[in-house]
Amino acid sequence: MRTLREINELRSTLRDYRQRGQRIALVPTMGNLHAGHLALIDCARKHADIVVSSLFVNPMQFGPGEDLDGYPRTFSADQAQLVEAGCDVLFAPTVSALYPNGLDAQTRVHVPEVGEGLCGGSRPGHFDGVSTVVSMLFNLVQPDIACFGEKDYQQLAVIRKLVRDLHMPIEIIGVPIVRAEDGLALSSRNGYLSEQERATAPALYRTLCALRDALESGEPADKVLDQGKARLYEAGFTPDYLELRDASLASVSPATRHAVLLVAAKLGPARLIDNLSVQLPTPAQTGINK
Ligand code: PAF
């Protein structure tokens, strides 16, 4: 695996691959890799000849008071895992390489609508930061495909829209959530949890499963969501949001069948997110109109 820090080196390396007609996949990460990231690399390897992963803790997507400084940085371990996983190129630029004029002077990419509400509501500017850095990586790598985790459901929707709206010839592949045995979705932020909080954390997924079952059996959505929030508070979480949306993140309507339950909740120092798809029964049973 080649580890590259400079934009010029990345461009010339990828030009060679492209000239040989090789298909390139990109897996953008912020490092501190776990099995969820390795599933992205695996997916990329299945769809392309050359796998490029980026490792960049992107300051633009962190708000004031968020965990930019404390975000886990484990470069050598990440490098070793990427080699083991069969990654060909690791692009790990410095902040000044990507934002040479500083963040304030930086052109930003804003994806309207789908980036509003949910995480976009509680983390203002977050998706502009994600969209900007992902656009930059897409421009630098010019991948044929790019893989993103479905745990960040809204992020995936934002990136799909970004690629569509800007006519980028990149196929975006969503990769299913990887969970620990007890159901907790893997996340770099799980490392912030104390032993006791880690034992509580799977209640987030258990709650989503219980809510999905209730919704699929026709219980009214508003009642189910209220019960879900109460259950999360009882378990020790502070819910940021718990919402039912259609699969494209629009509001559910009586016609919606494929929906998704999305949650973000604080547990101690960690803000955890998760989601679960729901097959809604007939409108009369869902109670959406009640
Ligand atoms: O999902 C992430 O790790 C980040 O948001 C991403 C896509 C690498 C952009 O910084």
Residues 6+ apart with CB under 8 A from 3: 79, 89, 90, 92
Ligand 1: nearest atom to the Cα of 130: 9
Going by alpha carbons, the residue nearest to atom 2 of ligand 1 is 29
Helices of type H across the chain: 7-19, 35-47, 75-85, 95-98, 118-122, 126-141, 153-165, 195-200, 203-216, 221-235, 283-286
pLDDT for 285 equals 52
**Residue 221 CA, ligand 1 centroid: distance in Å:** 31
148: nearest Cα among 171, 182, 116? 171
The pTM assigned to this predicted structure is: 0.96
**pLDDT tens-digit profile of 113-122?**
999 999 999 9
Q: What pLDDT does 198 receive?
A: 98
47-62 tens-digit pLDDT: 999 999 999 999 999 9
Helices (H) and strands (E) in the chain, counts: 11, 9
* Residue in 148, 155, 178 to alter for ligand 1 test, most ligand atoms within 8 A of Cβ: 155
Give the count of beta carbons closer than 10 Å to the beta carbon of residue 6: 12
CA angle 28, 86, 43 (to 5 degrees): 55
47 is catalytic: no
* Angle between helix 35-47 and helix 75-85 axes, rounded to 10 deg: 40
Helix axes 126-141, 7-19, angle to 10 degrees: 50
Averages of pLDDT over runs of 10 residues in the chain (290 residues) are 98 97 98 98 98 98 97 98 98 98 98 97 98 98 98 98 98 98 98 98 98 97 98 98 98 96 98 98 57
Residue nearest to atom 8 of ligand 1 (CA): 29
Residue 199 DSSP SS3: helix
Output the pLDDT for position 277.
98
Determine the atom of ligand 1 nearest the C-alpha atom of 29.
8
Pocket of ligand 1 (CB under 6 A): 28-30, 58, 61, 130, 133-134, 152, 155
- Return the pLDDT at 148: 98
Closest residue by CA, ligand 1 atom 1: 29
How many residues are recorded in the chain? 290
> Ligand 1 mean position to 28 CA, how many Å?
6
CA distance 74 to 281: 45
What is residue 56's predicted lDDT score, i.e. its pLDDT?
Answer: 98
pLDDT at res. 171 = 98
